[in-house]
């Protein structure tokens, strides 16, 4: 079944403790692509993602899923359509991997049969290549293994949208690309993938679209090459960077020289 | 792993059954099989009026405390949680004692257990307020210390002010619970309240599982945490309040049992609930048999034995967690 879904953020303003975290952000996401949300620390990336997942209430503005404002959706329905992986995922108990992944089926508890749930968990574990660890306790996994298992938990929901906050933090380059490949293949299957990321080069490599948030506002939005321009990066991060063509590789890569000397 | 899990429940139930039989047989007078058949003997009176209520209350109250412990641990995501150590049981006892002091407990047989439930729910509300959802173990344990201190002082004060000549004995009876000298009426009044509380706890099991992923994780799975919070506060309040109103405070059951069962049934909060109830019943029955076979002139309070087992256990658990606690 082809997913055709839109997640629209309209005039979203979030204020916490008198501080404006997001100011009138308007942006629309379409399923079938990977969007990377970038920006300096405190720029509002996590807040935007939290609002898009329906977990944070904005001070003003709305997030609509295919025309329906998120607060009008039942929590279960919202959870079935939008999966969210927080920045620092908590695992409170030493459960085994299969049990953890199966938590992703909780939104389907009144909907799907046990067999359907088990099949979805199996597919998610196959996609993330975590099946061999099903009986292992999550506390015995390495950081990279854990990240894959948590991603499997998110995939088990088979939701249209996958929002993930810093999915590559703490992963070595090989595991970063592995996780990135998986997110790209999900987008290719039609899912909408929105992720926050700090690594500009990785974002440029894997994202179809880049949105840059700075001081609660969108300062650039477009293809990686259109959004991550040297002038934008200088303005937002205060760094000097440029796109370089590397022989033997089709696409150009972004190279960061260092802090901008002003 | 799965093979381990399959035999746990039948073994626990067999253990409960065995201990219930021991609880009926063992005592100052050892009852034989013939008491079931004899009519109008002292043995039959002991059986029906003393031992049977005691064994059944042991099962019900033990199950209530074990279930409450497993639910609290799941909700607070902390293996140190227990209605006793967190002061919920003390608050229940305080509620029950207040209803006796003001004479309202005489109005109706339901008033005493409901006052216990009221105290326990106030305790739960205060705990959630003090410790919150994302509490560290330290805040949690300190909240328990504060609640217990208030409740214990309140119980002692109220009973000291009462005109009863047995005030000191009454204080001990509430603070160190027991199952001796309870009747089938106590069972009839506490069981429905405990059953409703248990149902509330069991219906929130998905929320407990989802909380394995933390507050944000649970909400992203479509869990209404506010509802789960009320359901658990009400459920734990009912099972703990109704138990304590009958037996007084029997501590540490809810702490020890889930911890012992976690390696056997797995750490998933929902799978731990029912086995913890069975384990709680077994532990309380066993403790209640032990108090009867200990040498000495008068029977030791069950609460004493549970604290003697539970407190070192709590110490060991805290010691093993010491790096995460602060």
Which residue in B212, B219, B224 is closest to A95 by CB distance?
Answer: B212
Is the same domain home to A205 and A259?
no
Q: Report the SS3 class of residue A68.
A: strand
Q: Is residue A101 part of a domain?
A: yes
Is the same domain home to A119 and A185?
yes
Instruction: Identify whether the C-beta of residue B8 lies closer than 8 Å to the C-beta of residue B264.
Output: yes
Q: Is residue A1 part of a domain?
A: no
Is the same domain home to A157 and A189?
yes
- Which of A261, A250, A200 has the alpha carbon at shortest distance from A229? A200
| A135 vs B contacts (CB less than 8 Å) | 1
- Each of the 326 residues of chain B gets a pLDDT tens digit; together they read 445 678 999 999 999 999 999 998 887 777 776 766 766 677 777 777 788 999 999 999 999 999 999 999 999 888 888 998 889 999 999 999 888 888 887 888 888 889 999 999 999 998 888 876 555 777 877 888 899 999 999 988 888 887 777 777 777 788 888 888 888 888 998 999 999 999 999 999 999 999 999 888 999 999 998 899 889 999 999 999 999 999 999 989 999 999 999 989 999 999 999 999 999 999 999 999 998 888 777 778 888 889 888 888 888 887 887 655 44
pLDDT at B26: 83
Is the same domain home to A21 and A75?
yes
Q: How does pLDDT run across A36-79, given as a tens digit for each residue? A: 999 998 889 999 999 999 999 999 999 999 999 999 999 999 99
Provide the strand spans (E) within chain A.
6-16, 19-30, 34-38, 60-65, 68-69, 82-85, 161-165, 192-196, 209-214, 217-222, 239-244, 253-259
Which residues share a beta bridge with A253?
A: A244
| B206 vs A contacts (CB less than 8 Å) | 106, 109
Q: How many domains does chain A have?
A: 2
| B222 vs A contacts (CB less than 8 Å) | 74-80, 106-107
**B222–A84 CB contact, under 8 Å:** no
| Chain B residues whose C-beta sits inside 8 Å of any chain A C-beta | 1, 77, 206, 209-214, 216-217, 219-224, 266-269
What is the least distance, in Å, from the CA of B225 to any CA of chain A?
11
Q: Does A144 touch chain B (CB under 8 A)?
A: no
Range of the domain at A168: 6-228
Is the same domain home to A31 and A147?
yes
Is the same domain home to A243 and A166?
no
| B223 vs A contacts (CB less than 8 Å) | 75, 106
Is the same domain home to A132 and A203?
yes
Report the C-alpha gap between B147 and B82 in whole angstroms.
Answer: 13
Q: How does pLDDT run across A123-135, given as a tens digit for each residue? A: 999 998 899 999 9
Q: Could you tell me which chain B residue has the CA closest to the CA of A153? A: B213
Q: Is residue A214 part of a domain?
A: yes
| A100 vs B contacts (CB less than 8 Å) | 212
CATH number of B53-325: 1.10.3470.10
Is the same domain home to A240 and A165?
no
Higher-pLDDT residue of A258 and B285 is B285
**A77–B222 CB contact, under 8 Å:** yes
Q: Is residue A210 part of a domain?
A: yes
Is the same domain home to A158 and A240?
no
The 10 Å Cβ neighbour count of residue B197 is 27
- Which of A70, A21, A12 has the alpha carbon at shortest distance from A45? A21
Q: How far is CA B293 from CA B49, B92, B280, B289, B304, in A?
A: 20, 29, 20, 7, 14
Q: Is residue A72 part of a domain?
A: yes
pLDDT at B36: 67
Q: Report the SS3 class of residue A26.
A: strand
Q: What is the ipTM of this complex?
A: 0.90
Torsion over CA of B47, B48, B53 and B55, rounded to 10 degrees?
Answer: 30
**A135–B1 CB contact, under 8 Å:** yes
**A106–B219 CB contact, under 8 Å:** no
The CATH number linked to A16 is 3.40.50.300
Length of chain B: 326
Is the same domain home to A219 and A257?
no
**A96–B214 CB contact, under 8 Å:** no
Is the same domain home to A171 and A257?
no
Place of tokens 């909907």: A111
Is the same domain home to A90 and A190?
yes
């Amino acid at each position: 079944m082809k997913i055709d879904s839109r997640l629209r953020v309209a005039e979203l303003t979030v204020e916490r403790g008198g501080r404006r975290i997001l100011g009138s952000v308007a942006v629309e996401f379409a399923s079938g692509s990977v969007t990377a949300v970038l920006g300096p620390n405190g720029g509002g990336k996590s807040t935007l993602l939290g609002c898009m997942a329906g977990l944070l209430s904005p001070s003003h503005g709305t997030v609509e899923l295919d025309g329906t404002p998120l607060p009008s959706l039942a929590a279960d329905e919202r959870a079935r359509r939008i999966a969210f992986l927080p920045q620092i995922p908590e695992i409170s108990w030493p459960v085994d991997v299969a049990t953890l992944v199966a938590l992703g089926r909780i939104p389907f508890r009144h909907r799907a049969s046990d067999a359907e749930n088990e099949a979805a968990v199996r597919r998610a574990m196959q996609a993330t290549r975590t099946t061999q660890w099903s009986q292992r306790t999550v506390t015995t996994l390495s950081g990279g293994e854990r990240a894959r298992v948590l991603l499997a938990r998110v995939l088990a929901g088979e939701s249209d949208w996958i929002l993930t906050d810093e999915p590559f933090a703490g992963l070595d380059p090989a595991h970063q690309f592995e996780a990135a490949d998986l997110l790209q293949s999900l987008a290719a299957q039609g899912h909408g993938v929105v992720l926050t990321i700090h690594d500009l080069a990785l974002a440029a490599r894997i994202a179809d679209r880049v949105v840059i948030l700075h001081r609660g506002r969108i300062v650039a939005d477009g293809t990686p090459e259109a959004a991550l321009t040297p002038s934008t990066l200088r303005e937002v991060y205060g760094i000097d960077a440029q796109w370089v063509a590397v022989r033997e590789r089709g696409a150009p890569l972004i190279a960061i020289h260092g802090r901008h000397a002003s | 792993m799965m093979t381990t899990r399959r035999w746990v429940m039948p073994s626990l139930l067999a253990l409960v059954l065995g201990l219930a039989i021991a609880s009926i047989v063992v005592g100052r007078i050892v009852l034989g099989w013939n008491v079931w058949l004899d009519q109008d003997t002292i043995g039959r009176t002991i059986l029906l009026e003393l031992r049977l209520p005691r064994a059944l209350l042991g099962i019900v109250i033990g199950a209530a405390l074990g279930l409450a412990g497993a639910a609290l641990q799941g909700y607070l995501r902390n293996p140190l949680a227990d209605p006793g150590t967190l002061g919920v049981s003390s608050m229940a006892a305080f509620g029950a004692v207040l209803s006796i002091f003001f004479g309202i407990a005489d109005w109706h047989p339901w008033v005493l257990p409901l006052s216990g439930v009221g105290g326990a729910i106030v305790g739960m509300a205060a705990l959630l307020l003090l410790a919150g959802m994302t509490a560290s173990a330290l805040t949690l344990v300190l909240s328990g210390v504060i609640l217990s201190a208030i409740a214990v002082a309140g119980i002692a004060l109220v009973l000291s002010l009462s005109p009863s000549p047995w005030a000191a004995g009454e204080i001990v009876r509430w603070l160190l619970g027991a199952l001796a000298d309870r009747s089938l009426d106590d069972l009839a009044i506490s069981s429905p309240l405990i059953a409703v509380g248990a149902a509330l706890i069991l219906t929130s099991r998905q929320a407990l599982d989802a909380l394995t992923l933390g507050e944000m994780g649970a909400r992203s799975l479509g869990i209404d945490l506010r509802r789960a919070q009320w359901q658990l506060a009400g459920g734990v309040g009912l099972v703990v309040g109704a138990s304590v109103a009958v037996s007084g405070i029997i501590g540490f059951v809810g702490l020890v049992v889930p911890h012992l069962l976690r390696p056997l049934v797995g750490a998933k909060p929902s799978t731990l609930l029912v086995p913890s109830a069975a384990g709680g019943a077994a532990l309380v029955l066993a403790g209640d048999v032990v108090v009867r076979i200990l040498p000495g002139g008068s029977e030791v309070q069950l609460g004493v034995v549970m604290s003697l087992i539970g407190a070192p256990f709590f110490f060991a658990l805290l010691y093993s967690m010491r790096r995460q606690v602060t």
